């Protein structure tokens, strides 16, 4: 958890994005603190990816101001690119290269010296160094994709639905990985449709609906506010759920096929 005094690393002010006549992002403002895990939550089509891609310099905005680590998106997009890590498109991975070679290649693109085995170690994929991307399981692919965000030693990484399609162990393993990355001082911005994930991982979340931020708080406060408003969950009669059973039976630890 970053301390309250930590500095603002991303500041978004009155951001809008129009696709033709359709306004997908309707004047949103928020700040991300250095070292925090910040979640963008919202239903399909709410404008999360659009917002992220604008900050990542991958998509033009219609209006508003975005400052990343002191750099103005309008003036210094190149400087912003240098300090952010984005998940490289998996579909674009050169099919003939193994994981080590891919990291070397991406390092070259970033003009950055890389140590493939060290990076693969970090995401628990050293034993797959000689494997091709297509030979990995879903969880391994996601972990490799996160490794690619770290190649340029970024201050901030962006993770778009990193655990979609993963089994419960692989998801937990990925949560640990994200926490380890943050523990090293990297700011993490994440989108997810899993509320348990957001609750466990995120220091603060912005909930976006139809292009507007409708809540921005720590998960704890959001829950407390709801309860204070009189909300009550239907009584849980059982002390465990099917996911607990699954994890109990199949183990917590990461397995090779993950």
Ligand X SMILES: Nc1ncnc2c1ncn2[C@@H]1O[C@H](COP(=O)(O)OP(=O)(O)OP(=O)(O)O)[C@@H](O)[C@H]1O
Chain residues in the site for ligand X (CB under 6 A): 19, 24, 42, 44-50
Partners of 207 in the β-ladder: 41, 215
Tell me the closest approach of the beta carbon of residue 142 to ligand X, in angstroms: 16
CA distance 14 to 54: 13
One DSSP character per residue, 115-173 reads: -HHHHHHHTT-GGGTTSBGGGS-HHHHHHHHHHHHTTT--SEEEEESTTTT--HHHHHH
Residue 23 buriedness (CB in 10 A; 0-12 / 13-18 / 19+): middle
Whichever of 59 and 75 has its CB closer to ligand X, that residue is 59
Tell me the closest approach of the beta carbon of residue 119 to ligand X, in angstroms: 28
Tell me the closest approach of the beta carbon of residue 47 to ligand X, in angstroms: 4
3-state secondary structure labels for all residues of 52-119: HHHHCCCCCCCEEEEEECCEECCCCHHHHHHHEEECCCHHHCCCCCEHHHHHHHHHHHCCCCCCHHHH
Whichever of 164 and 218 has its CB closer to ligand X, that residue is 164
Instruction: Establish how many alpha carbons lie within 13 A of residue 24's alpha carbon, considering only the half-sphere containing its beta carbon.
Output: 21
Whichever of 59 and 115 has its CB closer to ligand X, that residue is 59
Alpha-carbon dihedral angle through residues 32, 142, 149, 53, given to the nearest 10 degrees: -50
Whichever of 52 and 156 has its CB closer to ligand X, that residue is 52
Whichever of 19 and 246 has its CB closer to ligand X, that residue is 19
Tell me the closest approach of the beta carbon of residue 45 to ligand X, in angstroms: 4
Tell me the closest approach of the beta carbon of residue 46 to ligand X, in angstroms: 4
Whichever of 19 and 94 has its CB closer to ligand X, that residue is 19
Tell me the closest approach of the beta carbon of residue 75 to ligand X, in angstroms: 24
């Amino acid at each position: 958890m970053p301390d309250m005094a930590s500095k603002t690393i991303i500041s978004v002010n009155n951001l809008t994005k129009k696709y033709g006549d359709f306004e997908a992002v309707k004047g949103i403002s928020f700040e991300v603190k250095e070292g925090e895990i910040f979640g963008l939550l919202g239903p399909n089509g709410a404008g999360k990816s659009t917002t992220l891609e604008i900050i990542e310099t991958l998509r033009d905005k219609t209006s508003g101001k975005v400052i990343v680590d002191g750099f103005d998106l309008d003036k210094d997009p190149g400087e912003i690119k240098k300090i952010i890590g984005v998940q490289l498109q998996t579909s674009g991975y050169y099919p003939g290269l193994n994981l080590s070679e891919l990291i070397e290649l991406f390092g070259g693109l970033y003009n950055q010296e890389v140590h493939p085995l060290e990076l693969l170690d970090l995401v628990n994929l050293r034993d797959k160094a000689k494997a091709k991307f297509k030979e990995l399981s879903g969880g391994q692919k996601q972990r490799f994709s996160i490794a690619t965000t770290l190649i340029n030693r970024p201050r901030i990484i962006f993770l778009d639905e990193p655990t979609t399609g993963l089994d419960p162990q692989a998801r937990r393993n990925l949560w640990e990985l994200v926490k380890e990355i943050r523990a090293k001082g990297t700011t993490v911005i994440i989108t997810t449709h899993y509320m348990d994930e957001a609750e466990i991982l995120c220091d603060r979340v912005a909930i976006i609906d139809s292009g507007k931020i409708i809540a921005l708080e720590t998960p704890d406060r959001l829950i407390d506010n709801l309860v204070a408003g009189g909300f009550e969950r239907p009584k849980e009669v059982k002390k465990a759920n099917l996911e607990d059973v699954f994890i109990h039976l199949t183990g917590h630890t990461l397995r090779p096929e993950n």
